[in-house]
């Protein structure tokens, strides 16, 4: 979810950071990870820790303190025990807590707010990821894209009739959906085989293309495309 935000250039899972001469830390998720191997000298701007049952609380608090002291702007701790919520840790600011139905923000790091439940609910995460992928292409929303494409198609097709205009608009919408899917795959470094490309090119169902994009945004090729690999 986080790495799809339009403002995020790089993010990683379990990326290692050298906070000091003798201090090494690897947040569960981090924003600001250089694309190179080895431990990173520096700190992530945003770090996320998943706190499930059995997590050593003392070690977790020490890790949070070290990250903030080294320069990390904000640390989100996802508490998986009921009631699920997210703790927001910042330097010299009391710990805040956000619950289901609330939004997480990270000004200067993330462009868009994230629903708290997107950090553990797969469906919500897919919706947020897809919205972010559209925005990366300069598209406000899927509904806005649909209306814009239909209107353009109607205007250009008025001389030939409304049906032709709608058909052309639908074709444009499908092409944009295919382009968004391919960009998502490239961003996730998921290779599309010639057979997968053919499946995408021949798919004429917008909901199917959207579902494939959501799966790719989550980091996996959907069965129809992976089976074609």
What is 104-154 written as a DSSP string? E--TTT-SS-EEGGGGT-HHHHHHHHHHHHHHHTT-S-HHHHHHHHHHHHH
CA gap 24, 40 in Å, rounded = 9
End-to-end Cα distance, the chain = 25
Task: Look over the chain and give the mean of its residue pLDDT values, rounded to a whole number.
Answer: 84
Model confidence pLDDT, tens digit, residues 10-45? 888 888 887 877 778 889 999 988 766 677 888 999
The angle, 0 to 180 degrees and rounded to 10, between the axes of the packed helices 162-187 and 194-202 is 150
- At 169 the pLDDT is 64
Tell me the percentage of the chain whose pLDDT exceeds 70: 83
Instruction: Measure CA 49 to chain center.
Output: 17
pTM for the predicted model, two decimal places: 0.68
CA gap 109, 222 in Å, rounded = 30
Instruction: Measure CA 14 to chain center.
Output: 17
- At 94 the pLDDT is 96
Domain range summary for the chain, segments of one domain joined by +: 2-119, 127-223
* Homologous superfamily in CATH for domain 2-119: tt1808, chain A (3.90.1570.10)
Q: Of 8-22, 151-165, 182-196, which gets the smallest average pLDDT?
A: 151-165
Tell me whether strands 40-41 and 29-31 are parallel, antiparallel or unpaired: unpaired
């Amino acid at each position: 979810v986080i790495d799809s935000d339009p403002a995020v250039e790089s993010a990683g899972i379990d990326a290692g950071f050298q906070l000091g001469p003798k201090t090494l830390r690897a947040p569960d998720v981090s924003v600001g990870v250089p694309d190179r191997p080895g431990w990173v000298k520096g700190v992530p701007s945003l770090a996320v820790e998943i706190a499930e049952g059995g997590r050593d609380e003392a070690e977790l608090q020490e890790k949070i303190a070290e990250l903030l002291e080294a320069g990390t702007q904000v640390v989100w701790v996802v508490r998986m025990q009921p009631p699920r919520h997210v703790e927001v840790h910042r330097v010299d600011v009391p710990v805040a807590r956000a619950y289901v139905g609330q939004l997480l923000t990270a000004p200067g790091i993330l462009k868009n707010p994230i629903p708290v439940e997107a950090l553990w609910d797969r469906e919500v995460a897919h919706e947020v990821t897809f919205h972010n992928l559209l925005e990366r292409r300069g598209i406000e929303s899927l509904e806005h894209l649909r209306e814009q494409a239909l209107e353009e198609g109607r205007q250009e097709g008025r001389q030939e009739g409304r049906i032709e205009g709608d058909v052309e608009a639908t074709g444009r919408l499908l092409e944009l959906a295919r382009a968004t899917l391919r960009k998502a795959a490239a961003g996730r470094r998921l290779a599309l085989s010639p057979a997968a490309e053919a499946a995408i090119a021949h798919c004429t169902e917008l909901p199917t293309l959207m579902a494939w994009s959501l799966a790719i945004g989550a980091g996996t090729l959907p069965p129809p495309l992976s089976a074609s690999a």
